[in-house]
Amino acid sequence: MDLTTILQILDSTLRLATPLLFAALAGLFSERSGIIDIGLEGKMLAAAFFSASVAAFTGSVWMGLAGGIAASVVLSLIHGLASITFQGNQLISGVAINFLASGTTVVIGEAWFGLGGRTPQLEGSGRFQEMTLPFAETLSAVPIVGPFYATVLSGHSVLVYVGLVTVALTWWVLFRTRFGLRLRAVGENPESVDTAGVSVAKMRFAAVMIAGVLCGIAGAYLATGLAAGFVKEMSAGRGFIALAALIFAKWRPVPVLFACLLFGLLEAIGNRFQNIDLLGVNVPTQFMQALPYILTVVILAGFVGKAIPPRAGGQPYVKER
């Protein structure tokens, strides 16, 4: 493997990690507030479809992004309604949202475009364009750092950089603001927050809405950044990989970034090589595909540092009987 190949793999790692990153940060906000979200997949899929559709109708990728976020937020509202207002089962609500997204994207897509569940191919301003970071050309002559900067870091769509900034922002919001403290508190001990006079339901709704926005960006990036349009089931389990990354990172923002990069790297390697020879043992691609899930189970099992979820996760908060 030469340097060019390695750089190319790292380049696509960053690309592939971005939708995971947005979705995992979405899950982070939601789960830190005590609302388990297994509907990340569905929200991403719905956002991918609506962003591609709106971009196809208007020719503007930014309008598409807004459409995707709107779709994802609507699903978040349903999740909030079911799990906060009506104190229903959050897992079941998540399952329903995933099906709702797989069904409606195809049913409505077929009615709007008649292309068997696809949206029309997006071109020009309908997609996020790659942007070259400043000095990429000049610096590329510098050994190692230059090509790394020019190939790996530069040349992505703006959402990739937004994703990296969002990690820092998430950390700041969660650990350095009053809102973040309260948000973490409703996920650990909602009674205490309630006693302090803060509405548990409002805090949780806020967290779920933020999750909706972030999932919307994740889906929009899938359809208008990574690909050039929506295809049926295009999220392809990424919402669950994001969930895996979230657990792998033990619900902390910066480790989430590294977990997503790791899972992105696995996908990039799997895309590039059909079979990998590792110390004379042939590793099949299917193993690479399953690796994020296997790693998550190992982490959950607690053999390599225990993953302890937010304490009040999954339980509806009932003020009094």
How far apart are CB 321 and another protein at their closest, in Å? 12
How far apart are CB 308 and another protein at their closest, in Å? 9
Query: Which tokens belong to 130?
Result: 């790659």
Closer Cβ to another protein, 106 or 262, answer by number: 106
Closer Cβ to another protein, 225 or 229, answer by number: 229
How far apart are CB 155 and another protein at their closest, in Å? 31
How far apart are CB 125 and another protein at their closest, in Å? 29
How far apart are CB 100 and another protein at their closest, in Å? 4
How far apart are CB 279 and another protein at their closest, in Å? 20
Query: Which tokens belong to 254?
Result: 């910066």
> Residues in the site for another protein, rule: CB under 8 A?
36, 38, 78, 81-83, 86-93, 95-100, 102-108, 110-111, 117, 237, 240, 243-244, 247, 284, 286-287, 289-290, 293-294, 296-297, 300-302, 307, 309
Closer Cβ to another protein, 117 or 126, answer by number: 117
For residue 248, count other CB atoms closer than 10 A to its CB: 24
Sign of CA dihedral 57, 41, 263, 181: positive
Closer Cβ to another protein, 165 or 281, answer by number: 281
How far apart are CB 161 and another protein at their closest, in Å? 30
Closer Cβ to another protein, 83 or 166, answer by number: 83
Closer Cβ to another protein, 19 or 225, answer by number: 19
Tokens 């929506």 map to which residue? 230
CA distance linking residue 192 with residue 182, whole number of Å: 10
How far apart are CB 196 and another protein at their closest, in Å? 27
Closer Cβ to another protein, 3 or 297, answer by number: 297
Closer Cβ to another protein, 24 or 160, answer by number: 24
Q: What's the 3-state SS for the chain?
A: CCHHHHHHHHHHHHHHHHHHHHHHHHHHHHHHCCCCCCCHHHHHHHHHHHHHHHHHHHCCHHHHHHHHHHHHHHHHHHHHHHHHHCCCCHHHHHHHHHHHHHHHHHHHHHHHHCCCCCCCCCCHHHCCCCECCCCHHHHCCCCCHHHHHHHHHCCECHHHHHHHHHHHHHHHHHHHCHHHHHHHHHHHCHHHHHHCCCCHHHHHHHHHHHHHHHHHHHHHHHHHHHCCCCCCCCCCCHHHHHHHHHHHCCCCHHHHHHHHHHHHHHHHHHHHCCEEEECCEEEEHHHHHHHHHHHHHHHHHCCCCCCCCCCCCCCCCCCCC
